[in-house]
Amino acid sequence: MMGSPILLKLFEHDEALARGVFRLIKQQENRLTVNRPHSEVMAINHAAGRHPVAVSPPVYQLIKRAHRVSLLPGSAFNFAIGPLVKRWKIGFQGNSVPPKDEIRALLALTRPDGMTLDDDSHSVFLHQAGMEIDLGAIAKGWIADEVRDYLRQQQVDYGLINLGGNIQTLGHQTERCWGIGLKQPFAEDGALIGVIKVMSRSVVTSGVYERYFELDGRRYHHILDPRSGYPLDNELLSVTVISRESIDGDIWTTLLYGMGVENSLTYLADAPQIEAIFVTRDRRVICSSQRQFSFSLLDDSYRLHN
Ligand code: ADP
Ligand code: MG
Ligand code: MG
């Protein structure tokens, strides 16, 4: 689902419960997807430049959140990025590097300030034809939290959901914490750099090695820089965010990616609820702080900085 493998771990054999989880994921994906012709989000995109479209309250709230984050000054998170994502097609058939002038033209359409959100009617209006919103950088986090809430309602107190690298966990007993592997970038055998231990926390990783294509010896990955129109390019190979809510983790991996290590560490010093692990091209593993998790290094070809 959602272009990714989905893993659910429960400690009781309960098929009805598992089916309920997958039904919920499917339902939310159907509302949010931009990879099929029909969804609430696609209805907004189809009406760009023409008229506002009312959506369901939860989808509206999600869009409001994405909108707010996209408007932050210098934000690398921009959910109006749809036209560029569609043109690059990274991770899909037919990807190619767009010519510079085309990128420039598409950048003009990726403006979070070029839309109107109306709280009364729960409607969204994209002012210009060709504009498209894309919730790909926030949807999995939101759905992971929904799954956690659903499991709690069903009296499950121990479980894990992994939506393609977006992990949310339930469980409070210290002696039974979750160990989440931090992948070695580009390792084909699933080798790990280390293990992140958490209890009832979300662990979200975004990496340049998740979805990409190669052309003329260059690698193009799927997190685009809304400021340049090209894939984000800095010293980082992956960013992992540990937080209570997975939606925060999903948003923050993109924001921190765009900030780079130094600026991120400065920023996170004042944001105790959000903690991060950065993996750099020169094999450094940098933890911002370790209040909500503990990290152990397994591969000593990496250097750990706390
Ligand atoms: P993952 O695919 O690991 O969940 P993200 O959460 O960063 O990674 O989401 C990436 C997806 O978000 C892309 O596939 C694309 O649909 C969309 N996207 C790409 N770049 C941006 C960006 N700068 N801001 C917001 N959304 C983006
Ligand atoms: Mg994200
Ligand atoms: Mg994500």
pLDDT by residue for the chain (306 residues), tens digit each?
998 999 999 998 899 999 999 999 999 999 999 999 999 999 999 999 999 999 999 999 999 999 999 999 999 999 999 999 999 988 888 888 999 999 999 999 999 999 999 999 999 999 999 999 999 999 999 999 999 999 999 999 999 999 999 999 999 887 789 999 999 999 988 899 999 999 999 999 999 888 888 888 888 999 999 999 999 999 999 999 999 999 999 999 999 999 999 999 999 999 999 999 999 999 999 999 999 999 999 999 999 998
* Residue 261, H or E segment: helix 246-268
Angstrom CA distances, 233 to 73, 208, 223, 237, 276, stand at 19, 9, 9, 9, 19
Let me know if residue 78 belongs to a domain.
Answer: no
Q: How far is the CA of 21 from the centre of ligand 2 (A)?
A: 21
79 closest CA partner among 28, 123, 122, 44: 44
Beta-strand relationship, 202-207 and 166-170? antiparallel
Look at the chain and count its residues: 306
Tally the domains of the chain: 1
**Residue 14 contacts by C-beta under 8 Å, 6 or more apart in sequence?**
none
Strands (E), the chain: 6-10, 53-54, 115-118, 123-126, 159-163, 166-170, 178-183, 192-198, 202-207, 212-215, 218-221, 236-243, 275-280, 284-287, 294-297, 303-305
pLDDT at 188: 87
Q: How far is the CA of 305 from the centre of ligand 1 (A)?
A: 27
Is the Cβ atom of 205 under 6 angstroms away from ligand 1?
no
pLDDT at 305: 94
Let me know if residue 207 belongs to a domain.
Answer: yes
ipTM of the complex: 0.97
Is the Cβ atom of 221 under 6 angstroms away from ligand 1?
no
Angstrom CA distances, 74 to 36, 68, 103, stand at 31, 13, 19
Structural domain containing residue 262? 157-305
Place of tokens 């009832």: 200
Let me know if residue 20 belongs to a domain.
Answer: no
Q: How far is the CA of 4 from the centre of ligand 2 (A)?
A: 14
pLDDT at 199: 96
pLDDT at 266: 97
Let me know if residue 92 belongs to a domain.
Answer: no
Is the Cβ atom of 250 under 6 angstroms away from ligand 1?
yes
CATH number of the domain that residue 242 is part of: 3.10.520.10
Let me know if residue 139 belongs to a domain.
Answer: no
pLDDT at 13: 87
Is the Cβ atom of 142 under 6 angstroms away from ligand 1?
no
pLDDT at 92: 82
Please give the Cα distance from 180 to 167 (Å, whole number): 9
pLDDT at 3: 87
Angle at 175 between CA 189 and CA 180, to 5 degrees: 25
Sign of CA dihedral 24, 25, 30, 32: positive
Residue with CA at minimum distance from ligand 1 atom 22 = 77
Q: How far is the CA of 219 from the centre of ligand 1 (A)?
A: 16
Residue with CA at minimum distance from ligand 1 atom 7 = 137
Let me know if residue 222 belongs to a domain.
Answer: yes
Let me know if residue 8 belongs to a domain.
Answer: no
Q: How far is the CA of 32 from the centre of ligand 3 (A)?
A: 13
Let me know if residue 71 belongs to a domain.
Answer: no
pLDDT at 175: 79
pLDDT at 113: 98
Q: Which mutation among 133, 208, 223 tests ligand 1's pocket best, with the greatest number of atoms within 8 A of CB?
A: 223
